[in-house]
Amino acid sequence: MSTRSFSPLDRLLIEAQRALTTTLGPAHAERGNPAGDIPEPALDDTDRRHAAGLMRINHTGEVCAQALYVGQAAVARDEATRAQLLHAAQEEEDHLAWCADRLRELDSRPSLLNPLWYAGSWAIGFAAGLRGDGWNLGFVVETERQVEAHLDEHMVSLPAADGRSRAILTTMKADEARHADNAEAAGARILPRPVAAVMAGMSKVMKTVAYRL
């Protein structure tokens, strides 16, 4: 396998391009959309707006997940950890694309603040990564477990008829659980409770804002 070395400027440009693609560009899914040919439900305006608000939260969550993992990968010490982080980030791109598809179907759009969420999450990932790979993987476990819990909430909260959104969230949840399991198996440290609490607090702010904006 050939290794190529990048200058700091190369790396900066790669990161900048990735940020732009994630926040503004169309995401490309490698797997088919789990909603498949499930029929589009007839939703009234209130239900459609509510479903769109939830799917916008999930879309922004995926932007944050990508940024977090890419930020962590930038400072991961071990090649295997870096590869695992980048692989997880790639699977999050499927999620990103499916959520974007669903937002379009619901006549809505992603959060206008996604570039801001990306920058904040990247910085958090970078800071976590500086503490070492055990912490890095611990961050993955905590993030994914929190996402799993909120996907459960959304599954209950979605309009009962919206089988298309529900199918997407079901597949995402299975992926997130696998990401957490893999990180645990690779030697994740358990994060101190205050760190986990701060992460939960920040994601609560994100969810409140992204539902509307």
Residue 152 identity: D
Query: In the bound complex, what is the minimum distance in angstroms from residue 89's beta carbon to Fe ion?
Result: 9
- Residue 179 labeled ligand binder: yes
Of the candidates 92, 94, 101, 142, which one interacts with Fe ion according to CB under 5 A? 92
How many chain residues touch Fe ion (CB under 5 A)?
5
Q: What is the spatial distance between Cα 146 and Cα 176, in angstroms, rounded to a whole number?
A: 10
212 dihedral zone (left: phi>0; alpha: psi -120 to 50; beta): alpha
Cβ distance to Fe ion smaller for residue 179 or 207: 179
Q: What is the spatial distance between Cα 61 and Cα 179, in angstroms, rounded to a whole number?
A: 15
- Residue 144 labeled ligand binder: yes
Cβ distance to Fe ion smaller for residue 92 or 142: 92
If binding is defined by CB under 5 A, does position 162 make contact with Fe ion?
no
If binding is defined by CB under 5 A, does position 93 make contact with Fe ion?
no
Cβ distance to Fe ion smaller for residue 48 or 76: 76
Of the candidates 63, 176, 196, 206, which one interacts with Fe ion according to CB under 5 A? 176
If binding is defined by CB under 5 A, does position 95 make contact with Fe ion?
yes
Q: What is the DSSP string of 83-113?
A: HHHHHHHHHHHHHHHHHHHHHHHTT----TT
Cβ distance to Fe ion smaller for residue 133 or 176: 176
If binding is defined by CB under 5 A, does position 179 make contact with Fe ion?
yes
Q: How many residues does the chain have?
A: 213
Q: What is the spatial distance between Cα 33 and Cα 14, in angstroms, rounded to a whole number?
A: 28
Of residues 66, 68, 60, the one with CA closest to residue 103: 60
Query: In the bound complex, what is the minimum distance in angstroms from residue 91's beta carbon to Fe ion?
Result: 6
Cβ distance to Fe ion smaller for residue 62 or 101: 62
Q: What is the spatial distance between Cα 117 and Cα 106, in angstroms, rounded to a whole number?
A: 23
Q: What is the spatial distance between Cα 85 and Cα 91, in angstroms, rounded to a whole number?
A: 10
Per CB under 5 A, residues contacting Fe ion are 62, 92, 95, 176, 179
